[in-house]
Amino acid sequence: MFFQIAAVLILLIFYGCYFGKMLIQKKKGIQTNQIGKGKAGFVKIIELTMKAATILAPIVEVYSIFMNRSMFPIWVRYAGIAIAVLGDVIFVISVLTMKDSWRAGVSETDKTELVTDGIYQLSRNPAFLGFDLVYIGILMMFFCQTLFFVSVFAVLMLHLQIVNVEEDFLTTAFGNEYIEYKKTVNRYFGRKYKRES
């Protein structure tokens, strides 16, 4: 029962932040959900497949939580709680740091700012990192084969969204400013340091 309560709270915080931010932005006239909108070809396929994966994952997670089974020892389940909570913290901080520039998917029509301060000094994609850590943490708490495959699929689709859609869009939208940013901050975590010649 403890793991079930912990997992439900983790998901409520995560999705509460996600949908709460969308609602706040909607009241300001900002269309947050840009997934698949105004896109064509490969980019549209990636975004819509990612959307399907991120809808399927919490459905399977909730079912796994309800079943409350795991093939892992208890210490792994406790580690899963810690990892998922870290995912929540990173995700919430990233959404708050982005302010009104935050979007789900990329928007080629909205004018947004390139955010490089706060948590974005340590990760170019902390919201995606938050998603990944929550998926991994829940998987560690309620491991089964179905949840494993769905979680891996969701993490893979989020990665493809970054490398095939987000990075190309940001390079086009912000040019040299984003290229220089990429040289100093890693995709998921850590700063790059230039070696002294």
pTM attached to this predicted model: 0.90
CA–CA gap between residue 101 and residue 185 (Å, rounded)? 19
CB-based contacts of 34: which residues, under 8 Å, 6+ apart? 103, 104, 105, 106, 107, 110
- pLDDT of 129-181, one tens digit each? 999 999 999 999 999 999 999 999 999 999 999 998 889 988 988 899 999 99
Name the β-bridge partners of 191: 185
CA distances from 27 to 74, 101, 110, 121 (A): 44, 15, 16, 29
Q: Which residue has the higher pLDDT, 196 or 102?
A: 102
Tokens of 117: 């301060």
Name the β-bridge partners of 185: 191
State yes or no: pLDDT of 193 exceeds 80: no
